[in-house]
Amino acid sequence: MFKADRWLCLCATALFLASLVAGQYYVEEEKEAKSNIVWCATSLEETYKCRNFTKALERDVALFNDFFMNVTCHHGFDHDECMALINERKADVMTLDAGEVFSGGRFHSLIPLMQEGYEGGFTQYHAVAVVKKGSLPDVTNLRHLRGKKACFAWVGSHAGWTVPIYTLQREGGMVITDCNNIVKIATDFFGPSCAVNALIDKYNPIGDNSNKLCSLCTGPVSGGKCTPADPYAGFEGAFRCLVEAGDVAFLKHTTVEEMVESGIIPGVSVDQFELLCRDGTRQPISQYRQCEWGNVPSHALVVSSATTKTDHRRFKKFFTKAVNLYSSKQRRYNSTLPLGRNDGQDDRYRPYQSPYTTSSTTTYSPFTSPDRAAYGNESQPYETFDLFESRRYGRRLNLMFQDAARHLAPIDEDKQNYQRYLGKALDEIYDTRSCPVGRMMLCVTSDAEYEKCIKMRTALKAQLIKPDMLCMKAHSHITCMQHIQSGTADVTVLDASDVYTAGLHYDLMPFMSEVYDLGLPEYYVVAVAKEEDPDTELTYLRGKNTCHSGINTAAGWVYPMAYLISNGWIRPYGCDSIRAAAEYFTKSCIPGAISKEYNTGIPYDNMCDLCHGSSFRYCRRDASEDYYGNSGAFRCLVEGGGHVAFVRHTTVIENTGGKKREWWARDALPDDFELLCPDGTRAEVNEFKKCNLGKVKANAIVARGGRGYNGTELNAYINLFTYAQQFYGRKFSDDFSFSMFFSIPPYHDLIFSDATRGLRVVDSDKRWFDAYLGPNFMRARRITDCHAGANSLSISAFGSLLFGVVTLFWSRCMF
């Protein structure tokens, strides 16, 4: 008996502890669950409605049982600001149209939690084009909309922007003139129009959008015109634009009836308007199913993807209960509750009235018109808050939720992402961003460059920059030139001297160039020596150890060797500059000097004695050799035993004064080095303008020229790099960002020079190699290269003529 009592006691104790733990877990889970919501509103009117919602919740807190949540309201400037705030967890919820669900999901990690349901249980609506009845008799098909005055809800709206652009691109002759700016495409098609947000950074990244799509908007110029505060913003604003100024408006199928019923615009009726169908015919407003331009998923309630599943459940239960309590339309839809007004505290937001007033009141809104104010003066003790009604708050409809909504439908957990939610609409969004050029293959020459290329491709894809960029690793720059000529690759970045080789032998042409601190696509070639080594002079380098950026590079070889040979300091051996250098200098590092691709003569081993690469990387003319490039040549001077380095004028400043984290440059200061001048004197490193070996053109991006020239492809490549540098042209990078002009240590100048401050389009009359490089470089190259000379000039002249003919042909075809 004693044992049985003891076991019973133990079991009871175990049950008690288990229930205590379970209860504690339950309490902890409830404690962690969110009990406050910040609603982000995008207009003053929506803020008023949101505050009325909070008043209603305070009154009816007991009706929510365990699902009650405190709601506070934040007024954001626009949808983009609100999306950013939700992503940063400074706000919690808002509603977005399908086009913005895409932006919110892709760029702000927002997910759709619930979506609006409309009459009949539908969770989608129809995109339509509306015109005034009897107007535009010349428009019998969609192509005739070219040059017309259009009214859009806002740029990025699915029904009011994406669907019409998508349809006109496929059926209306809208030509893609800019692969990365849909606003420019619409600008080229329509006449003066109103498309709110057409000039914001999001849709105008390089700042050159025309004002044409804002010229019809009527907001105040300072901060209001063509913004969400413009009277022509939103679907109701686009309808007003049509009534007052436009030829065609792109709306939801419910917009016309909503605006007519609201009385916001007096004197208009539904029969004054008609639908423009995709086949050019007209239909009454009521026939939207037969005359739609597309179906659009309903607006969605979005939250941060970082929100917990527990909070998801609470949000769904809370908003479902709120709809049941505060939607007269939902009650009519369900036919469960009689239509009427509840007795209770007035929940309207009055910024100038005490919230504790209990006497009979009049509906207040700072936006209410005198007529509506008179209507509101009817004696009515209290008025119920309606979640799907917005007329009382001013001259805007569809605040917080669409007024046509009847209920909120929870979205299944496996569909709570923008891709699954949008479905076919996602294809329409992507298709409006299509490009006639499908890809651009960038050719690089080392593993480090290939890795950076892959990161760049990922970064461009994240911003949807077209055409799609692909990467190819080749054995050398010469191989890259061959791949581009054959069509296997499309572009590569070359040193000025390689631009010469690419143009002379492979018909490649420079179309964009790097720009450094001079503000022009050029730089100075300088000779650098250590300040502690006063015996090294430019006029007598016999027996010295020299460091070069690479064989046949402009700064590291062509200009210094041309100077030394032309001034008689080195025996020329005709034009065999490699032999001349090998016999004049004791040791050097000239990456590529023993490569058969760059040295078709005798390889001289002392030309690579100072190089640092291991195994097959030794003396290679790419980033796998530590002493390759301008920074590599400078490193050779610092640690590799060199007496002089021939580099770009920016190199010393780039690698000294703590700008480099690598150990070899950590203690180097600019004052530790001096420039060697042509007259035998020395100068400070910042005096390169008076102490240099000449000025040379910057590195350039090259593509096919000659017979392989394609103007459409070239313009697409220019467009891609222009937008790429706008998004990723910053000078510094970290683990979570990408920079085109930054190389991860210990590497330098990967793909682009680290000294680059931007890319500039090469003028069309300078896109043949000799025109780009100029006469001084051509003369220097002839001094140092036996394969350069009069023959190259004749080929160059023929190439220039051929290029001019092809360019003229393409310009006529395009325009």
Same-domain check for residues 414 and 466: no
Q: Is the dihedral of CA 426, 432, 433, 436 positive or negative?
A: positive
Total structural domains within the chain: 4
Q: What CATH number has the domain bearing residue 274?
A: 3.40.190.10
Peptide bond into 746 cis (omega under 30): yes
**Per-residue pLDDT at 347 exceeds 50:** no
pLDDT at position 655: 94
| pLDDT band of 330, cuts 50, 70, 90 | low
Q: Is the dihedral of CA 583, 588, 590, 592 positive or negative?
A: positive
Average the pLDDT over 392-415 and give the result.
91
Same-domain check for residues 103 and 181: no
729 annotated as belonging to a binding site for a ligand: no
Same-domain check for residues 660 and 710: no
pLDDT at position 340: 35
Query: Quick check: is 795 in a domain?
Result: no
pLDDT at position 427: 95
| pLDDT band of 6, cuts 50, 70, 90 | low
**Digit-coded pLDDT (tens) for 708-752:** 999 999 999 999 999 999 999 987 766 778 999 999 988 999 999
* Domain coverage including residue 453: 439-516+699-784
Pull the structure tokens for residue 467.
Answer: 């055409």
**Digit-coded pLDDT (tens) for 143-200:** 999 999 999 999 999 999 999 999 999 999 999 999 999 999 999 999 999 999 999 9
CB neighbour list of residue 658: distance below 8 Å, 6 or more residues apart: 666
299 annotated as belonging to a binding site for a ligand: yes
**Per-residue pLDDT at 314 exceeds 90:** yes
Query: Quick check: is 789 in a domain?
Result: no
**Digit-coded pLDDT (tens) for 754-783:** 999 999 999 999 999 999 999 999 999 999
219 annotated as belonging to a binding site for a ligand: no
Query: Quick check: is 28 in a domain?
Result: no
pLDDT at position 597: 85
523 annotated as belonging to a binding site for a ligand: yes
Q: What percent of the chain has pLDDT over 70?
A: 85
pLDDT at position 797: 40
Average the pLDDT over 387-409 and give the result.
91
> What phi, psi does 511 have (nearest 5°)?
-125, -15
Cα–Cα distance measured from residue 522 to residue 146, given in angstroms and rounded to the nearest whole number: 43
Same-domain check for residues 114 and 145: no
**Per-residue pLDDT at 15 exceeds 70:** no
Same-domain check for residues 652 and 725: no
Query: Quick check: is 238 in a domain?
Result: yes
**Digit-coded pLDDT (tens) for 121-135:** 899 999 999 999 999
Are 60 and 52 in contact by the 8 Å Cβ rule? The answer is no
Of 127, 148, 126, the C-alpha closest to 137 is 148
Same-domain check for residues 189 and 227: yes
Of 59, 688, 553, the C-alpha closest to 326 is 59
The structure tokens 């929510």 sit at 64
Q: How many residues comprise the chain? A: 815
DSSP reduced 3-state for 467: coil
Average the pLDDT over 375-382 and give the result.
36
79 annotated as belonging to a binding site for a ligand: no
Average the pLDDT over 600-624 and give the result.
87
* Last residue of one domain, picked from the residues 680, 695, 710: 695
> What phi, psi does 289 have (nearest 5°)?
-65, -30
Cα–Cα distance measured from residue 394 to residue 368, given in angstroms and rounded to the nearest whole number: 5
More confident residue, 811 or 512: 512
Average the pLDDT over 370-392 and give the result.
59
Same-domain check for residues 304 and 291: no
505 annotated as belonging to a binding site for a ligand: no
Least confident of 65-69, 235-239, 452-456, 779-783: 65-69
**Digit-coded pLDDT (tens) for 537-589:** 998 999 999 999 999 999 999 999 999 999 988 988 877 888 999 999 999 99
**Digit-coded pLDDT (tens) for 30-86:** 435 568 899 999 999 999 999 999 999 999 988 888 889 999 999 999 999 999 999
pLDDT at position 613: 79
Of 304, 222, 231, 224, the C-alpha closest to 40 is 304
pLDDT at position 22: 42
**Per-residue pLDDT at 253 exceeds 70:** yes
349 annotated as belonging to a binding site for a ligand: no
Cβ burial 180-201 (10 Å sphere, 16+ → b, else e):
bbbbbbbbebbbbbbbbbbbbe
Query: Quick check: is 170 in a domain?
Result: yes
Same-domain check for residues 583 and 707: no
Same-domain check for residues 674 and 527: yes
Average the pLDDT over 416-425 and give the result.
94
* Last residue of one domain, picked from the residues 251, 280, 297: 297
* Last residue of one domain, picked from the residues 434, 464, 493: 434
pLDDT at position 219: 85
Cα–Cα distance measured from residue 123 to residue 45, given in angstroms and rounded to the nearest whole number: 25
DSSP reduced 3-state for 294: strand
Same-domain check for residues 487 and 573: no
Mean per-residue pLDDT over the chain, rounded: 86
Least confident of 344-358, 605-619, 622-636: 344-358
Tell me the C-alpha to C-alpha distance, in Å, between residue 463 and each of 97, 339, 744: 20, 49, 22
Same-domain check for residues 538 and 631: yes
pLDDT at position 82: 96
Query: Quick check: is 325 in a domain?
Result: yes
Same-domain check for residues 138 and 263: yes
Query: Quick check: is 368 in a domain?
Result: no
Query: Quick check: is 667 in a domain?
Result: yes
Average the pLDDT over 386-411 and give the result.
92
Cα–Cα distance measured from residue 185 to residue 183, given in angstroms and rounded to the nearest whole number: 5
138 annotated as belonging to a binding site for a ligand: no
Peptide bond into 297 cis (omega under 30): no
306 annotated as belonging to a binding site for a ligand: no
